[in-house]
């Protein structure tokens, strides 16, 4: 059976006060900043005119609001598997805060005490990927930085660890696709809509 030829478009939510400060924001339901709402509205230009077979969003308000401002709120379905990494005891801390106690800590190998480990997040995004691959048509996912980085890694069959090398900015757009029969990253961390000077020729 040949692989479907649909795309999966990933949208990271817009800026929050915690993301701007570098604080690990897992299940704390923080809102977008004014700048984050502006970023989310600019995502609309990247999505307008496309036809979506499925739109899923994390149930956390920063993702839901980004989806709404990007123009897809009316058709979006919440999916708890798209919630951000559960940082447990590290919720709200910055990486320097954590390194003060654990200098060698790295999320992608060590996970979080009282929260999720990399395989836990990998299992969640595998369910999302399976759901996407059952759909006949393009899919849009609105979620969070770390969970989407794991999703990008798992889409190409790599372990969650690869997500540590996949930077993802707030309000960025990424596209998962196919190279013949092989799942591929077609576009990653595209923020041209936020800064027109970075615009690339559209495919």
145: in domain: yes
Find the CATH number of the domain harbouring 69.
3.40.50.1240
2: in domain: no
Q: Are 181 and 2 in contact (CB under 8 A)?
A: yes
Domain that holds residue 49: 8-198
* pLDDT range class, residue 198, cuts 50, 70, 90: low
3-state secondary structure 61-130: HHHHHHHHHCCCHHHCEECHHHCCCCCHHHCCCEHHHHHHHCCCCCHHHHCCCCCCCHHHHHHHHHHHHH
Is 84 annotated in the active site?
yes
Percent of the chain whose predicted confidence (pLDDT) is above 70: 94
Of all helices (H) and strands (E), which one includes residue 151? Answer: helix 145-155
pLDDT tens digits along 125-174: 999 999 999 999 999 999 999 999 999 999 999 999 999 999 999 999 99
Q: Are 185 and 154 in contact (CB under 8 A)?
A: no
176: in domain: yes
Q: Name the domain count of the chain.
A: 1
Return the bridge partners of 183, or none: 178
Q: How far apart are CA 196 and CA 180, in angstroms?
A: 31
1: in domain: no
Is 13 annotated in the active site?
yes
- How many other β-carbons are positioned within 10 Å of the β-carbon of residue 85? 29
The active-site residue out of 13, 24, 144, 193 is: 13
203: in domain: no
Q: How far apart are CA 106 and CA 103, in angstroms?
A: 9
67: in domain: yes
The active-site residue out of 84, 91, 116, 144 is: 84
pTM beyond 0.85: the answer is: yes
Q: Are 72 and 47 in contact (CB under 8 A)?
A: yes
Return the bridge partners of 184, or none: 177
3: in domain: no
């Amino acid at each position: 059976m040949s692989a479907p030829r649909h795309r999966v478009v990933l949208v990271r939510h817009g800026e929050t006060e915690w993301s701007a400060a570098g604080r690990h924001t897992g299940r704390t339901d923080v809102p977008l900043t004014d700048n984050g709402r502006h970023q989310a509205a600019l995502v609309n230009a990247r999505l307008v005119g496309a036809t979506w077979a499925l739109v899923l969003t994390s149930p956390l308000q920063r993702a839901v609001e980004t989806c709404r401002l990007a123009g897809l709120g009316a058709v979006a379905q919440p999916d708890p598997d798209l919630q951000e990494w559960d940082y447990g005891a590290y919720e709200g801390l910055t990486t320097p805060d954590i390194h003060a106690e654990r200098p060698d800590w790295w999320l992608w190998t060590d996970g979080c005490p009282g929260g999720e480990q990399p395989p836990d997040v990998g299992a969640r995004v595998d369910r999302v990927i399976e759901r996407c691959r059952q759909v006949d048509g393009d899919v849009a996912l609105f979620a969070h930085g770390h969970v989407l980085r794991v999703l990008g890694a798992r889409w190409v069959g790599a372990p969650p660890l690869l997500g540590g090398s996949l930077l993802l900015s707030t309000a960025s757009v990424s596209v998962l696709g196919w190279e013949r029969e092989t799942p591929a990253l077609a576009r990653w961390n595209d923020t041209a809509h936020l800064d027109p000077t970075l615009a690339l020729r559209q495919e």
